[in-house]
């Protein structure tokens, strides 16, 4: 295990991180299902972005000068929903209607349905291309807003990601930042067993991107890198070493917790207890 992965493992979650995770449990309770591990691994990434980095107006989700955030790994949407609810993009009560017939919060996020969601994602390998388009749009319109795209590690199996990685580099899109939620587990099992990505940093570097690696549960470290002004004429990627299911001992590092199709009231109790003891 790399030192950053070890740091990710040992990082203690503070009150805000635990609070956001409890909001996710609210949604899991309401929907009785959800991508648990996939959303718990990226809480600090979305927290650093929304709390400290993104230029935004929560009372005007389509404010023209906002920074754009695309959750390309749409199955991690519970983390984004928790953030958006906490920031007042919509009422926290909506979390209880997660995946319900008449709710606005589906198992994958939808633009035009969920305030604050820039692009409907869920099919993997789409968000980076959309981010490239948005970044080009900012350049044409001479605007200063920036584009952030969160990718899953399993998502990097999609060839389309690398098409867009080439294009972003070709267009020298310094306003574009990708963040890889590198939790090392995909649906079936370990990324290294299913389709090994290593050497991951070298891959991005060879595609012309500026590389940073970070403990993906260190909010200060994430904030410092994500908020920094680009110094090169190239897109940037943060490889965020995370723990799938972070904060839930029974789920951490367990592929079986990638998605749960049935979550009972007893499960919810266990999840709450785990977070209380974290």
Partner 1 sequence: MRKQVLKSITELAVRDERVVFIGSDLSPGVMSDFRERFPDRLFMEGVSEQHIIGMAAGLAMEGFIPYVNTIATFLTRRCYEQIAMDVCLHNLPVRLVANGGGMVYAPLGPTHEAIDDFALMRALPNMTVTAPVDANEMAALVNASLEYPGPIYIRLGKGGDPIVTPEIQQFQFGVPTILRQEGQIGLVSTGIVSAIALRAADIAAESGVSVKVIHLPTIKPIDTESFFSAILGCEHLIVVDEHLSVGGLASVVAELLTYSIFSVRPKSCSVNLGQDFLHNYGSQAEHLASKGITDIVLAKQCVNLATSEMVRI
Interacting residues with partner 1 (CB under 8 A): 111-112, 118-120, 122-123, 125-141, 159-160, 163-164, 166-167, 170-171
Please, what is the minimum distance in Å from the beta carbon of residue 208 to partner 1? Answer: 13
SS3 category, 176: strand
Question: 170 or 264, CB closer to partner 1?
Answer: 170
SS3 category, 145: coil
What does DSSP assign to residue 67?
A: P
Please, what is the minimum distance in Å from the beta carbon of residue 136 to partner 1? Answer: 6
Please, what is the minimum distance in Å from the beta carbon of residue 105 to partner 1? Answer: 17
- Per the DSSP assignment, residues forming a β-bridge with 180 are 151, 239
Neighbours of 256 (CB within 10 A): 14
22 within 8 A of 272, measured Cβ to Cβ:
yes
178 within 8 A of 219, measured Cβ to Cβ:
no
Please, what is the minimum distance in Å from the beta carbon of residue 242 to partner 1? Answer: 25
Question: 1 or 113, CB closer to partner 1?
Answer: 113
Please, what is the minimum distance in Å from the beta carbon of residue 51 to partner 1? Answer: 25
Question: 141 or 276, CB closer to partner 1?
Answer: 141
Give dist(CA 18, CA 248) in Å, integer: 10
SS3 category, 140: helix
Please, what is the minimum distance in Å from the beta carbon of residue 129 to partner 1? Answer: 2
What does DSSP assign to residue 184?
A: S
H runs (alpha helix) in 155-240: 159-170, 191-194, 200-206, 219-227
Please, what is the minimum distance in Å from the beta carbon of residue 53 to partner 1? Answer: 20
Question: 131 or 221, CB closer to partner 1?
Answer: 131
Please, what is the minimum distance in Å from the beta carbon of residue 132 to partner 1? Answer: 5
Question: 143 or 220, CB closer to partner 1?
Answer: 143
As a whole number of angstroms, the longest Cα–Cα distance in the chain is 53
User: Which tokens in the block code for residue 275?
Assistant: 């977070």
CA angle 174, 225, 78 (to 5 degrees): 95
Give dist(CA 102, CA 252) in Å, integer: 32
SS3 category, 56: coil
């Amino acid at each position: 295990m790399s030192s950053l992965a070890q740091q990710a493992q040992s990082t203690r979650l503070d009150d805000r991180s635990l609070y956001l995770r409890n909001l996710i449990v609210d949604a899991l309770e309401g929907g009785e299902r959800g991508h648990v591990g996939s959303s718990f691994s990226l809480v600090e990434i979305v927290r650093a972005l929304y709390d400290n980095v993104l230029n935004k107006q929560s009372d005007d989700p389509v404010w023209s000068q906002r920074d754009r955030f695309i959750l390309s790994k749409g199955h991690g949407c519970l983390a984004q929903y928790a953030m958006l609810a906490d920031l007042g993009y919509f009422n926290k009560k909506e979390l209880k209607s997660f995946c319900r017939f008449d709710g606005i919060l589906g198992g994958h996020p939808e633009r035009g349905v969920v305030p604050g969601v820039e692009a409907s994602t869920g099919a993997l390998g789409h968000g980076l291309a959309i981010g490239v388009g948005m970044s080009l749009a900012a350049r044409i319109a001479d605007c200063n807003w920036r584009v952030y795209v969160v990718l899953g590690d399993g998502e990097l199996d999609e060839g389309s990601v690398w098409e867009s990685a080439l294009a972003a580099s070709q267009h020298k899109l310094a306003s574009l930042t990708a963040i890889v939620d590198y939790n090392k587990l995909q649906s079936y099992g370990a990324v290294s067993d299913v389709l090994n990505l290593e050497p991951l940093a070298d891959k991005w570097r060879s595609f012309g991107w500026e590389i940073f690696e970070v403990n993906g549960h260190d909010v200060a470290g994430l904030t410092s890198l994500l908020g920094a002004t680009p110094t090169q004429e190239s897109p940037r990627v943060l490889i965020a070493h995370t723990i799938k299911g972070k904060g839930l001992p029974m789920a951490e590092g367990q592929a079986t917790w990638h998605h749960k199709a049935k979550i009972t009231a007893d499960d919810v109790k266990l999840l709450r207890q785990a977070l209380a003891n974290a």
